[in-house]
Structure 1
Amino acid sequence: MSDIAANVAAESAHAPSEPSWQARALARLEDGLAALTDRANPILVKETRQALKSRQFIVSFLVVLVGCWIVTLAGVAVIGPEIYFGAAGPEMLLAYYCVLAAPLAVIVPYSAYRSLAAEKEENTYDLLSITTLGSRQIVTGKLCSAAAQMFVYFSAVAPCIVFTLLLRGVDAMTVAALLVLAVAGSLALSMAALLVGTLSQVRYTQAVLSVALVMSLLGAFWGAVVIAYVCLFEEPIPFGDPETWLVSLLLLTLYVTTFGLFHAAASARIAFPSENRSTPLRWWMTVQQACFVAWFAGLVAYMAAMMAVQGFSLINDLSEMLMAVGVVGLLYWYVMGTLMTSEWPHLSRRVQRSLPQSTAGRMFLSLFNPGPGAGYLFAVSNFSMMCICSVAMLIALTTWYGGTWGSRQETSLYFFVISWGYLAGFLGAGRLLISLFRRFAFVPLAAGFLTHFILLLAGIGIPLVIYLMSPSSRYFNTYSLSQITNPMITLVTLVDDGPDAIDALTVSALTTAAGVVMLLLNARSVAAELHRQRTPAPIRVIEEDAEAQQEIRKPQSPWDEDEAAASAAVDP
């Protein structure tokens, strides 16, 4: 019996022990990361591997490490014994921030630009486009690759930045705010660089765009350093003030909507011509305008509450803010309108199969369809809604508080009416010219945008030349109706000198009439685009889509393969 017990004890001693819970947790984490890697964007994996193995990344990363080492040794040596009792944190933090901002503001965005521009140069994008990856997946993968490089640089400098908290003179909230600014700014610059990378079609434009991009990135780096210096030495961030968080939320809204618009624009630039590249952009424009109007409505509500306390005198300040909002909206929708009215008017079969089909969808979503006519009406409608809301707010507050209709309120009213006429008139005239040119030649998007720009320059330049050639006009410095096609002088004179300086009633009537005439001249083609109906898909396309959606059972083990082979042999 003793021999049997000894053998059992020996076998149990040699038996494998059950792994601990830490080992099981690490194994599950490893399996999860492996599954996440398999599901990750292939572009992310490809670009990250290439970037982290490139000589450029290795050299720049070593330069960042050496820079941190030099700043640490030199900073401690310069500060000297005061480091034990002085407040040396801001100086060291600014130096480390410069080391961090250099790769985040210059190297990472430019690498993102080159990753997309190189696809065009080496003619490898055609191979990439025939894969199952969509244009948005390609842009997202390259953006995530830039984010991965950014966090590698960030991890190298982060310990040094934490070290500055021990040197006194700087708080954790300021450090966190500067780091968030650096990360968000680097992502935004990378997204903008990817958008610029889609614009480079030929080599000579790539050289110009590369130089302009590098100069812009250097300017962004300098701006980040200046902001850090101001926050650390000139004017610390008042985190206890509620307005600080309100402004931060406003900037976050602008950041997210603009980021999404740039992402949609970059995806549209590299998408197939047969795809719907306009609708996502217009949705982002709508979201951005909705956020802008919501913030402005909140500001008006705040002004109304202040007027209840301080009196009706604040209505002039509200009028000034309304006109400032009108300027932003006019510039925004003019730029977007020039791009939308320069689109190609013909829709592909694929886009026609995705048009709204229901009555409600065609009623509310037709303006989001691709096409220059729908884009023209989309821009004019959005700016019209902004003008109507602004004027309605002004009239409501004036009536509610029983105030009189003063000069600034009258100026605001004329400002929105004249601005609407300019937008509808210039966009409508530009669209008609582009339609005329397309009867004789192919007019791409860039040429259409240039047509709008030349038309605007003609409207500004011709009256300006007439004004400069007239001695009486220069001597008396008066506004005349010959300058009515110049929106800049007309609106500036209206805001500065009031309605009487430009005969606002006549100018508003003429500009509104011009806008209405352009709307009527474009009405036929716009109506033709809005009345487009969905084209039914061919039977071949329906069958291919049905086959693609079928779930294919893949073998998970050798036994599954044997069962699949046996079932295939049994089936006739």
Structure 2
Amino acid sequence: MSTAAFPNESLSQRLPSGDGTPADSTTPAWLVRIDRWAERLGDRVNPIMIKETRQALKSRQFVVTFSVLLVAAFGWTVAGSLSMMPLIYTTPSASRMLIGYYLVLALPMLLVVPLAAYRSLEAEIDDGTLELLSITALSPWQIVLGKLASASLQMMLYLVALFPCVAYAYTLRGVDLPTLALMMSTLIVSALTLTVLALSFAPLARGRTGRISTLLVVLSALLLAEYLIGAAMISMIMYGNPLPVSWTVFILVVATLLAAAISHLLLTTTAAQLTPESENRSSGIRWSLLMLTVLVFAINVFAIEWITEAREQVLAVFMPSIMIMGLLWTFAGAMMAAESAALTPRIQRELPGNFFSRMLLVFFTPGPATGLVFACLGIGTLLIAAMAGTERIQDLGSQVRAREWTLLRHAMVAYCGYLIMFLVLVRWIVAILRINNHPRVEIGLAALIAVAVLSSLVPYSIGLHYNDYRPYSYSGWQITNWVWTIGMIFDNQSLRWVNEVGISSMLMGFLIAIAGVGRRALPMRTATPEAVLAERAK
């Protein structure tokens, strides 16, 4: 139909509105287009976020918290300003006012919002509404991200409400803009990370006692984080940032990247716990763990090569990161070795189809056999990176003596050797338990602890008995006693056979793990039924 047919009709009259009806004659065309765009955008927004936001904004918790925040901010503005009169006109007074505003803002962002997000997801699980959501088109990732988005929206409201107060404090002089930006960015990143941490604890609760215990753990973690972050921020506001610009940027970038990687890992584990057992739960966790490990490696490489003057500061970055990653791979390896060996048809339909991709991605396939191999590869890679890092730090110059570096390398080799052999035992112990039971993957941690304790106590008790319960010296019979062996290494009593035995144990454990993979290395992808394809096409 041409426009000449309606010579007196404007463009806005011909454009339909968002619901398909003709727009009002007074509605401009650009406003109609914005309305259409907003409607399409609203259809794509996570429905969980919309539901949670509506419930949160109408809840008594949000109304009370937001009201208290406004009253506290207004009260501190009046009381703080009057208490500094008349020096407030001539003396820099921003630090005192900013501390009060930080305390007012940090309480809801670091404590109230994460705790509310935890209770929201826990209530979904406890009330059974999560089962109703699982039969809809919403994925577990959408559910978790919807909870996080709703919490983020509440944080944004708190920030917007208190932003004029922070701007007022900045005008009083005494705090520079970079310090203010660092404080706000730290608060935002910390709040989001703590919210993700709280959400990750929600699916762990089982029963009333478990929910109470989990709630106490979450509350303790949030209070501890509130105290530590608050102490750091108040110190920075009062005395300024003691670090140079280069170190400040490095720490800020590293903290942001690590927070993003750790949050992704926690969100992946949370979504996996909400996923039905018939679907793939573990592949995403392995990819996320691998990305976090690569990120930590990259940070350490950058720190080793970038820090050229104060070489002892490299150890402040290198040693804690290696220890934390070692513990992370220990716990993750125990749970991966305790996974269920069942592969449902739905999981098999998602496996790579060709042989080449199967060979590359076989260790991301769910199951205890592939999980054990993946853990062995990760632990071995971590050991190689740690050994290379210590060599590089020693070559570039360090105050640590060469003898101490050698003992540290021996201890790392011994720990990795013991860990891989323990994981092999955990894999077969859990396999025996799964014959007549269906335990959760957390049973792997219990099995690992039991194996570690028995491997130390049994040989020590036998040696104590044969020596008439008198103290005796270390011997080769205590080789399974990892506590005594590693303790001997750190006591500056180098054991010449540690490297050989440790590396041999790792190779033996890896070969046993490879042998247990078996048919999982072969292509096992099954065709997708036509009914499923038709349902996806709708």
1:365 matches 2:361: yes
Q: Which of residues 385, 388, 407 in structure 1 aligns to 2:384?
A: 388
Q: Which runs of 5+ in 1 are unaligned?
A: 1-10, 551-572
Q: CA, structure 1 residues 226+206, in 2 after alignment: closer, same or farther (shift >3 Å)?
A: same
Q: Which of residues 334, 342, 347 in structure 1 aligns to 2:343?
A: 347
C-alpha contact 1:67 1:99 (8 A) present in aligned 2:
yes
Q: Deviations over 1:294-343 (max 9, x none)?
A: 2222234346x67xxx9xxx7x9989987666534422211110111111
Aligned-CA RMSD value:
3.4
- Look up the SS of the partner of 1:233 in the other structure: helix
1:299 matches 2:295: no
C-alpha contact 2:413 2:503 (8 A) present in aligned 1:
yes
1:423 matches 2:423: no
Q: Which residue of 2 aligns with 1:251?
A: 255
For 2:225 and 2:28, how far apart are their aligned partners in 1? 47
Question: After alignment, is 446-455 or 186-195 more displaced?
Answer: 446-455
Q: Which residue of 1 aligns with 2:140?
A: 135
- Look up the SS of the partner of 1:138 in the other structure: helix
**Distance apart, 1:281 and its partner CA:** 0.8
Equivalent residue runs for 1:163-174 within 5 Å: 163-174=168-179
Q: Which residue of 2 aligns with 1:236?
A: 241
For 1:189 and 1:318, how far apart are their aligned partners in 2? 27
- Look up the SS of the partner of 1:132 in the other structure: coil
Q: Which residue of 1 aligns with 2:332?
A: 336
User: 1:48 corresponds to which letter in structure 2?
Assistant: T
**Distance apart, 1:412 and its partner CA:** 4.5
Determine which structure has more spread, i.e. the larger CA radius of gyration. Answer: 1
C-alpha contact 2:300 2:317 (8 A) present in aligned 1:
no
Q: CA, structure 1 residues 176+25, in 2 after alignment: closer, same or farther (shift >3 Å)?
A: farther
**Distance apart, 1:31 and its partner CA:** 3.9
Equivalent residue runs for 1:41-56 within 5 Å: 41-56=46-61
1:435 matches 2:439: no
Q: Which of residues 270, 283, 286 in structure 1 aligns to 2:274?
A: 270
**Distance apart, 1:80 and its partner CA:** 2.0
Q: Which residue of 1 aligns with 2:454?
A: 458
Q: Percent identity?
A: 29
1:59 matches 2:64: yes
For 2:96 and 2:317, how far apart are their aligned partners in 1? 39
Q: Deviations over 1:137-193 (max 9, x none)?
A: 111111101111111111111111111011111112211111111111111111111
For 1:287 and 1:395, how far apart are their aligned partners in 2? 24
Equivalent residue runs for 1:44-193 within 5 Å: 44-193=49-198
1:549 matches 2:526: no
C-alpha contact 1:120 1:201 (8 A) present in aligned 2:
no
Q: CA, structure 1 residues 243+473, in 2 after alignment: closer, same or farther (shift >3 Å)?
A: farther
C-alpha contact 2:353 2:523 (8 A) present in aligned 1:
no
**Distance apart, 1:265 and its partner CA:** 0.8
C-alpha contact 1:323 1:415 (8 A) present in aligned 2:
no
- Look up the SS of the partner of 1:80 in the other structure: coil
User: 1:509 corresponds to which letter in structure 2?
Assistant: E
For 1:253 and 1:203, how far apart are their aligned partners in 2? 36
Q: Deviations over 1:524-568 (max 9, x none)?
A: 32234333521223xxx2244145325xxxxxxxxxxxxxxxxxx
Q: CA, structure 1 residues 462+64, in 2 after alignment: closer, same or farther (shift >3 Å)?
A: farther
**Distance apart, 1:409 and its partner CA:** 4.8
Q: Which runs of 5+ in 2 are unaligned?
A: 1-7, 14-23
**Distance apart, 1:361 and its partner CA:** 0.7
Q: Deviations over 1:90-130 (max 9, x none)?
A: 11101110010000011111111111111122111111111
Q: CA, structure 1 residues 147+488, in 2 after alignment: closer, same or farther (shift >3 Å)?
A: farther
Q: Deviations over 1:218-248 (max 9, x none)?
A: 222222211111111245254x521221222
**Distance apart, 1:253 and its partner CA:** 1.9
1:199 matches 2:204: yes
Q: Which residue of 1 aligns with 2:3?
A: none
- Look up the SS of the partner of 2:91 in the other structure: coil
User: 2:420 corresponds to which letter in structure 1?
Assistant: A
User: So what's the TM-score if we normalise by structure 1?
Assistant: 0.81
For 1:151 and 1:447, how far apart are their aligned partners in 2? 40
Q: Which residue of 2 aligns with 1:533?
A: 524
User: 2:278 corresponds to which letter in structure 1?
Assistant: S
1:447 matches 2:443: yes
For 1:426 and 1:176, how far apart are their aligned partners in 2? 47
**Distance apart, 1:497 and its partner CA:** 3.9
For 1:138 and 1:82, how far apart are their aligned partners in 2? 52
C-alpha contact 1:490 1:502 (8 A) present in aligned 2:
no
1:290 matches 2:294: yes
Q: CA, structure 1 residues 323+229, in 2 after alignment: closer, same or farther (shift >3 Å)?
A: closer
- Look up the SS of the partner of 1:445 in the other structure: coil
**Distance apart, 1:214 and its partner CA:** 1.5
Q: Which residue of 1 aligns with 2:21?
A: none
User: 1:33 corresponds to which letter in structure 2?
Assistant: A
**Distance apart, 1:426 and its partner CA:** 1.4
Q: Deviations over 1:488-525 (max 9, x none)?
A: 5543542x443xx042x223334444444444444432
